[in-house]
Structure 1
Amino acid sequence: MHSGPAAATERPSGDPSPPDGASGRGPGPARGPGEGPEPGTGERPAAPGSGSGAGAPASATGAPGGTGRPGRLRRTGLWARREAPRTALAAVAGLGLALAFPPYDLWPLAPLAVAALALLTRGRTARQGAWAGFAFGLPFFLLLLGWLRVIGYDTVLGLSALQALFLAALGAGLALTSRLPLWPLWGACLWVAEEWARDRVPLGGFPWGRLAFGVTGSPFLPLAALGGAVLVTFAVALAGSLLGAAGLALWRAARRAPGGDGATGRRRAALRALPALVGALVAASAGAAVPVPTEPDDTVRIAVVQGDVQKPGMDFLGRPMMILNNHVEATLDLAEDVRAGREPRPDLVIWPENASDLDPFRYPEARARIEEAVRAVGVPVLVGALVDHPTREGYVENQGIVWDPETGPGASYTKQHPVPFGEYVPFRDQLSKVITRLQRVPRDFWPGEGSGVLQVGPARLGDVICFEVAYDEIVRDTVNEGARALVIQTNNATYGRTGQPEQQLVMSRLRAVEHGRAIVTAAPSGISAVVRPDGVIAERTQEFTQDVITTELPLRDDTTVADRMGAAPEWVLAMVGLLSCAVAIAAGRRGGTNRRGQR
């Protein structure tokens, strides 16, 4: 999906088709599956022997096809004016996709946005498709990632532009494969391929904004139990692409000239939309036929402590011991309620990520306060703490530690996937000289190596820390290694009241269905929540309040089809998408060779 294939798909100069808009139709969609490109859908490449594109304006010297700078500028201006309507439509569609995600939750906009991008790239060159994809992706990510404004608007823009490049590659691929039969299927596979790449590169990837995360309140969600987030994304993309195909058929039917057999022709053309509409409906409703396993093998009573923070934003840590004291005091209040008979004693207590803002193994005052709370409640507590690396000076580990009231600290889990520029700074020596803001990350986090399966009292839980919930393999490995329920220890205090906590919470909903596990989200400032194995949020707190959730947590041993399938569906669908691009490129080259031979 590089820029090179564009040349392979452009028409030879002998094609008599006018450029976009010259036929009087404007930038309309191309012809249907298997019908070939419609006139007016792409730029014509240079004719043999010419120095520029066919029909290019004269150069500054008056020679046609010249290569002077004024000629290039005029051609660029002409291209920009011709693409402006499509660019605007792509931007609107991208914003629509962002509105499918929290805090807006307008999930039907997700397949509609996919349909719009499919039509905007249909029959276009790879270069034009790439531009449409970028124009779609940039506003999508700008709105979706607006919570990063807490760090700086330049961060929002920079990360959004980087992520939009993946959508540009997607747009190029959609344009290439739109000339193939069954193009909605290949387009859906390309959406999976785009997310496959974006989830991994650069610096370990950034999965935020996957289609699956925008439809957790929809009929698509049960599909996660069969194929995880990947199958949900594929179904949304397929439904959207088929809607685009149906819309294209209906649009053509409406454009048929009246009179004669025009009415009959319009009806026949409209009927061509029926298979695509039925396919879209099947893709959107298939989840209703998927059984979601929820029956617990047994239960455990838990308490989730949300201690709150004094100062939201970048400086939420404030003065040392403040956040730790908040969680200690909330736990002591819980212990008092238990002693007074107002609450039954829980089997275990869960604290969030960074509940201890000082290393309890290095600072005696932090350890003393944790032990005070744990002994008072009388059950094991899963404590989130920042711990100095034992052998590497200057590094810190983000851990969840099982703290027993009798034996003290025991097993622990270290976060495997620290966040670049948030928990560590790549190329620190070079970048920190240019970007002084990076000095606010004084120490780099060291990644852990094992999964977070921990025995916490009577429950075998899987610990996943913060953004790790977005990564398929980390959560899957934790379940497959024996976790009977999942705990997401997170800290969203930096991004409170920005929509980011809601965006992360829907990931827990999807993971619950994907793995058939109840999920506990514990955050110091909210949103803390308990999600049932069917994806329903059973309990949740408000942001920036001190609160304690007490509930029965279902524990399960069976694994889902998605757990057993692993990453295979993602690899298969992504490879199919990429191979469809290769087929389209090869077909374009053969077509170009045949046309040249005919001339």
Structure 2
Amino acid sequence: MASALLLARALPETDAGFAVFGVALFLVSLRGQRPRRAFFLAALQAGGLGMLLFEDLALAARDSLGWPWPASGALVFAALLLYSLPRAAVAPQLARLLVCRGVHGPLVGSALCVLAERATRLGCGGMAVGELGSLAPAGGMAGEVALFCAAWAASGVLRRSRRAGAVASALACSLVFAAVAQGSRARAPRFECGSASVLLLPGPAWGLSGDEEPIVEAILELSLARSRALLRGSERLVDLVVWPEGISALDLCRRPSLRCRLARGLRVERNRPCLLLGECHRGPGGELQNAALLLDGEGRVVGRYLRERLLPFGERTPELCAWLVGRGEDEFVPGPSGQPLLRLPTACGRSLRLRIRLCAEALLPERYNGPKPDLDVVLASDAMFPPESPLAKLVEADTAARSRAGGVPLVRVARGGGALLASGEAIRRAAGPLLLRLSWGADGPQTVVSDLAGAEPNAADCGGWIGTVFAGGKPGNATTPTEGSSQ
């Protein structure tokens, strides 16, 4: 089971380490087993992968037929497994499927599988790490191997001592109840859009090339500066990153070390991923590329939009929607059959709760005929919408009307983006739509916050903007905002 999950996890990530570990775990679990038990183990291995495949089929059926629950395919497969195999061999699978999916933590999942092994007397320690394919511990690959060894040892102790088995069972039950309670609290909205943080990264207009390393260094420096002064000791994290032009999201997918540095620089939590929205353009074959990535605290890609379809991980019910368009009016990227262009998994939507729409299709009735979603924030960039274009005027007029009615504020970013760390609380408290304009002074670029009429609002009126600029347009030298900037 564990090796099947690890192999399935390795397929979309092209991570050879998980694949090798999964194959080794499968071979070790079959070593020294009687033929009948080896057959059951192989069936369970295939069952774990089959559940994932059936879940994918159920997801596709739900998208086409409107099925409400994507896990229905996994439940059907579990029923078939119950009918075809002895129930004792299926108990660990059901423990994982029915209980562990709602528990956030590999330790509790391993404890449940150990209890199932104790009850069924299968004696295969590999079953104790059935959750490791879908729930990653904080220690990454080393943590998974260490937890596997601990679960294997615990399984051997349980088989040899009734007293140790009883103590471990009681401890595991208490862990289960605690984890279920913690999971129910974690599934509640952690924060709303008003407490979200948006980070706009510098682009080629600042003299940066398509190399990602200077961007990462800038993020790390920005994180340190924010920790020391900008947020004044607050623990607020960055939730949304607007990626600059010329930076390939595909390169981030292929470079795990760079993703880890990004996640650590942004202080991303494991259960609160960070959304990276990058440039959106058509590839040589007409496919959409470099649209978006979703990073967890370990730098793993837990969701991404690539080649006009989302490749989700974890729970796969899309809930949170982000709307993206191209750089100009003629390069608009429509959603298929009125559906959102970018969809994120439910688990990510529950933790983010941003419902960010970038230059929303819903603002353009002649291009989008579906229902207009409730917009929280609209981020418009001069690189996408020149201020004099009819599309930009339409966006500004629509969002201005919504904002006057107590609805959505508009945040415009001048070409080049700048490097601004803005609090969503400030956006919410603003009296009207805000424009972030980039100006050049003697000390380098400055980010100016103003309303649509050009007047700079009082910092107290808009909740206190928090920002930073890079002196001379070079990353790595974060300075406090100058007079007239976002402070």
TM range (shorter): 0.3 to 0.5
Structure with higher RCO (Cα < 8 A, 6+ apart): 1
Using structure 1 for the length normalisation, give the TM-score: 0.29
Using structure 2 for the length normalisation, give the TM-score: 0.34
